[in-house]
């Protein structure tokens, strides 16, 4: 009788140890397969080299939708479908031209690109004198008297003292996003903005900008950091120099596009949905390898790993390739709208949209109880370099799901190199390391495996 009693007491502990060992074994299998299999990187090769940059509304974006649908179908999930939406269509046009003319130094060309959704200059281009400012306060102090008829040069550099480079990016993004309208309020005819990167190179970085209603729309371009330093240096010695740039970008009629969605049905809670995704659109001047080809591939890889290793989720896992993150977030809004309309039950959501470098952390937006529960799994991730658990927010595409009061989780890779490629022409396959990419895939698959199995309590 005593032996039976002792066994009954020890059974929970025995099962707990067994479960932990089984979890460790499965997570090891996930990482082993991800790091040994080339499928994900080869899929990224096709996406970047065969399709290329995928600005919303473009033929390339449409090709990416069809390609991702086929790849997901070949992985044989329970279902794959397209979720339709209306998207903006902005066309870059011909390659941009920019030159500086100085009576002291002569002429020089600068590396530029039009900012996303900017109006163009027309075929004749734009020619004028330049006035340099660091922020909107300086612009305001100069006023219409000094700005009217000129091209405003926003030259506030990203702060290199931030360890997390997205903080540096956030500190300068206003000049790209709102600079054109702010300058137009004082009579500027165009703006040229220092690229939002910490890199010292000759790659201009594009990105979305917005026009304020009721303010004249003037052309906006980005210049590389080397070009910005060059222009600033010449201006100090020749304030009367002239700048010429030509862009033929334009806004076209809205079009139709799609989120691409696949599902693995849950075995115990099929009506409770785990959302995992990244965005399939990208800017057009590069290949969209880090932003966000990496996130798309990692999302697909979680599905591939589950199928290959025979993992049967308790909850339904929904894999979402969001469209139009870069311009208007049409895909994110449509997905959240449909969840609400269908009264679907979301369990939690995960996003990968911070590049394909080595994962170092998870950022979890949730209550303290759920957050502390996630911390219990640290021991499974420390062997693979993930030591940090942050609370600094969610991603752009899962952000609209906040209203459903579910945990929002983002994979956080090392950020030191990400802004070197972000929205630039060098965001190419060659700058994505296969091992780093697949460490992210395995980390996502492992986290979802644990949370699907044990929940947040």
pLDDT at 12: 52
Residue 74, exposed/middle/buried by CB under 10 A (0-12, 13-18, 19+)? exposed
Last residue of a domain, one of 248, 269, 292: 248
What predicted TM-score, i.e. pTM, was given to this entire model? 0.93
Instruction: Give the contacts of 142 (CB within 8 A, at least 6 positions apart).
Output: 131, 133, 186
274 close to 452: Cβ distance less than 8 angstroms:
yes
Same domain membership, residue 378 and residue 296: yes
Domain final residue pick, 223, 248, 273: 248
Both 421 and 287 in one domain: the answer is yes
443, two tokens: 């980390």
Q: Does residue 141 share a domain with residue 269?
A: no
Beta bridge partners of 86: 256
How does pLDDT run across 87-133, given as a tens digit for each residue?
Answer: 999 999 999 999 999 999 999 999 999 999 999 999 999 999 999 99
Q: Rounded to whole angstroms, how far apart are CA atoms 168 and 158?
A: 5
407 and 275 in one domain?
Answer: yes
Tokens of 304: 């591939």
Task: Work out the average pLDDT over 10-24.
Answer: 62
Structural domain contains residue 293: yes
* Same domain, yes or no: 74 and 130: no
Burial of 165 (0-12, 13-18, 19+ CB in 10 A): buried
Total number of domains in the chain: 2
Beta bridge partners of 274: 317, 348
Residue (of 329, 247, 289) closest to 425 by Cα position: 289
Distance CA 276, CA 93 (A): 34
Q: What is the mean pLDDT of residues 219-233?
A: 98
- For residues 311 and 453, the answer to whether their CB atoms sit within 8 Å is no
State whether 138 and 172 are in the same domain. yes
Q: Quick one: 120 and 62 in the same domain?
A: no
Indicate if the pLDDT at residue 11 is higher than 70: no
Residue 439's domain comprises 31-90+253-454
Instruction: Looking at the structure, tell me whether residues 178 and 282 fall in a common domain.
Output: no
Q: Residue 276 falls within a domain, yes or no?
A: yes
The verdict on 266 and 374 lying in the same domain is yes
The CATH number of the domain holding residue 132 is: 3.50.30.30
- Domain-embedded: residue 50: yes
d(CA 453, CA 15): 15
Residue 8 lies in a domain: no
Q: What is the CATH number of the domain that holds 419?
A: 3.40.630.10
Instruction: Lowest mean pLDDT of 263-267, 317-321, 388-392, name the range.
Output: 388-392
Question: Do 283 and 228 share a structural domain?
Answer: no
The single residue listed with the structure tokens 């460790």 is 24
* Domain-terminating residue out of 248, 269, 300: 248
Same domain, 84 and 112: no
222, β-bridge pairs:
113, 193
pLDDT greater than 70 at residue 423: yes
Q: Is the peptide bond before 398 cis (omega within 30 degrees of 0)?
A: no
Tokens of 214: 């009721």
């Amino acid at each position: 009788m005593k032996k039976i009693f002792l066994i009954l007491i020890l059974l929970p502990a025995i099962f707990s140890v067994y479960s932990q060992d089984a979890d460790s074994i499965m997570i090891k299998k996930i990482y082993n397969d991800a790091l040994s299999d080339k499928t994900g990187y080869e899929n990224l090769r096709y996406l970047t080299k065969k399709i290329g940059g995928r600005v919303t509304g473009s033929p390339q974006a449409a090709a990416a939708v069809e390609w991702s649908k086929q790849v997901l179908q070949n992985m044989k999930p329970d279902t794959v479908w397209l979720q339709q939406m209306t998207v903006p269509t902005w066309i870059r046009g011909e390659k941009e031209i920019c030159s500086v003319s100085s009576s002291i130094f002569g002429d020089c060309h600068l590396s530029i690109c039009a900012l996303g959704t900017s109006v163009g200059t027309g075929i004749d281009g734009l020619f004028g004198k330049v006035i340099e400012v660091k922020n909107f306060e300086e612009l305001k102090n100069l006023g219409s008297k000094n700005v009217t008829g000129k091209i405003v040069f926003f030259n506030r550099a990203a702060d290199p003292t931030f360890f997390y480079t997205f903080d540096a990016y956030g500190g300068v993004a206003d000049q790209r996003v709102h600079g054109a309208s702010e300058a137009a309020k004082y009579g500027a005819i165009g703006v040229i903005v220092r690229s939002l990167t910490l890199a010292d190179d000759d790659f201009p970085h594009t990105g979305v900008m917005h026009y304020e209603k009721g303010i004249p729309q003037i052309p906006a371009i980005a210049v590389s950091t080397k070009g910005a330093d060059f222009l600033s240096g010449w201006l100090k010695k020749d304030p009367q120099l002239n700048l010429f740039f030509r862009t033929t970008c334009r806004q076209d009629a809205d079009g139709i596009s799609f989120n691409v969605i696949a599902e693995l049905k849950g075995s115990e809670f099929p009506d409770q949905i785990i959302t995992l995704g990244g965005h399939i659109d990208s800017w057009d001047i590069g290949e969209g390898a880090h932003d966000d080809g990496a996130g798309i591939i990692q999302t697909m890889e979680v599905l591939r790993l589950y199928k290959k290793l025979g993992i049967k989720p308790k909850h339904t896992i929904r894999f979402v390739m969001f469209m139009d993150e870069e311009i208007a977030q049409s895909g994110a809004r449509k997905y959240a709208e449909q969840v609400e309309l269908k009264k679907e039950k979301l369990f939690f959501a995960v996003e990968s949209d911070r590049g394909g470098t080595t994962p170092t952390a998870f950022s979890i937006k949730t209550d303290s109880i759920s957050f502390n529960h996630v911390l219990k799994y640290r021991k499974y991730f420390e062997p693979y370099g993930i030591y940090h658990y942050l609370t600094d927010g969610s991603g752009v595409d899962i952000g609209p799901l906040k209203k459903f009061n579910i945990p929002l989780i983002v994979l956080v890779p090392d950020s030191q190199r990400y802004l070197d490629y972000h929205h630039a022409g060098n965001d190419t396959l060659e700058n994505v390391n296969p091992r780093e990419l697949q460490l992210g895939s395995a980390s996502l698959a492992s986290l979802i495996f644990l949370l699907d199995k044990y929940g947040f309590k």
